[in-house]
């Protein structure tokens, strides 16, 4: 089990946004918010490249959780999915400076909650489309995922596993939340 969790963490550290941006002549750490994630790549390079980064990051979470599901069932899937999220957010190979975990988390959620995950992504898309603020879409969707588990009647351990991951993702969005309150959060549109 521990070995698979470590593999999932390492998988999560794969720097999708950095590699895609660099291949297109952009240092994503110096552009826009400086965050190595799909939203910032969208600002820098347009929605196609942003969607590609999102797909790569979501695949990290899905692959990690899927590996856990096959090897040890749902509890291990959650451990591995969480490890991939933490790897994305705090990659040891980049001095623990990574992304915010939304895309990787959505991929892991797709494996462990295949009905809830598309609803969360749809909510993110609707809020982001209406407001132009990816961070607002992320915060609302991530905050409501645990509510979805309550609505589903999921067991307590599953609720707390998801709520812990969502709490960590929201914590990484604390700067975005402050900027949203001040009304100076970055727009998703290309600068």
pLDDT at 191: 46
Q: Are 145 and 165 in contact (CB under 8 A)?
A: no
Structure tokens at 117: 């995950």
In a domain, residue 189? The reply is: no
In a domain, residue 191? The reply is: no
Taking each helix axis from N to C terminus, what angle separates 74-89 and 47-72, rounded to the nearest 10 degrees?
140
Number of structural domains found in the chain: 1
- For 108, the domain range is 2-182
Torsion over CA: 150, 151, 154, 155 (sign): positive
Question: Nearest 10 degrees: CA dihedral of 65, 66, 70, 71?
Answer: -40
In a domain, residue 31? The reply is: yes
In a domain, residue 188? The reply is: no
pLDDT at 32: 82
In a domain, residue 98? The reply is: yes
Q: Which residue do the tokens 């110096």 mark?
A: 30
Tell me, letter by letter, the H, E, C secondary structure of the chain.
Answer: CHHHHHHHHHHHCCCHHHHHHHHCCCCHHHCCCCCCCHHHHHHHHCHHHHHHHHHHHHHHHHHHHHHHHHHHCHHHHHHHHHHHHHHHHCCHHHCCCCCCCHHHHHHHHHHHCCCHHHHHHHHHHHHHHHHCCHHHHHHHHHHHHHHHHHHHCCCHHHHHHHHHHHHHHHHHCHHHHHHHHHCCCCCCCCC
In a domain, residue 54? The reply is: yes
Cβ atoms within 10 Å, residue 168:
19
From first to last of its 191 residues, what are the pLDDT tens digits of the chain? 899 999 999 999 999 999 999 999 999 999 988 899 999 999 999 999 999 999 999 999 999 999 999 999 999 999 999 999 999 999 999 999 999 999 999 999 999 999 999 999 999 999 999 999 999 999 999 999 999 999 999 999 999 999 999 999 999 999 999 999 999 888 876 54
Q: Are 109 and 121 in contact (CB under 8 A)?
A: no
In a domain, residue 187? The reply is: no
In a domain, residue 129? The reply is: yes
């Amino acid at each position: 089990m521990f070995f698979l969790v470590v593999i999932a963490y390492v998988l999560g550290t794969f720097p999708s946004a950095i590699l895609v941006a660099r291949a297109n002549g952009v240092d994503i750490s110096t552009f826009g918010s400086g965050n190595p994630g799909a939203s910032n790549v969208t600002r820098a390079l347009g929605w196609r490249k942003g969607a590609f980064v999102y797909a790569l990051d979501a695949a990290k979470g899905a692959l990690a959780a899927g590996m856990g599901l096959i090897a040890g069932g749902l509890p291990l899937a959650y451990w591995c999915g969480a490890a991939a999220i933490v790897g994305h957010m705090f990659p040891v190979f980049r001095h623990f400076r990574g992304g915010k975990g939304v895309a990787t988390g959505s991929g892991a959620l797709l494996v462990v909650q295949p009905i809830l995950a598309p609803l969360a992504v749809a909510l993110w898309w609707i809020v982001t489309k209406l407001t132009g603020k990816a961070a607002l879409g992320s915060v609302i969707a991530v905050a409501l995922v645990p509510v979805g588990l309550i609505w589903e009647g999921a067991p307590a351990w599953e609720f707390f596993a998801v709520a812990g991951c969502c709490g960590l993702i929201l914590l990484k969005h604390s700067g975005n939340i402050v900027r949203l309150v001040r009304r100076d959060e970055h727009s998703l549109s290309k600068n």
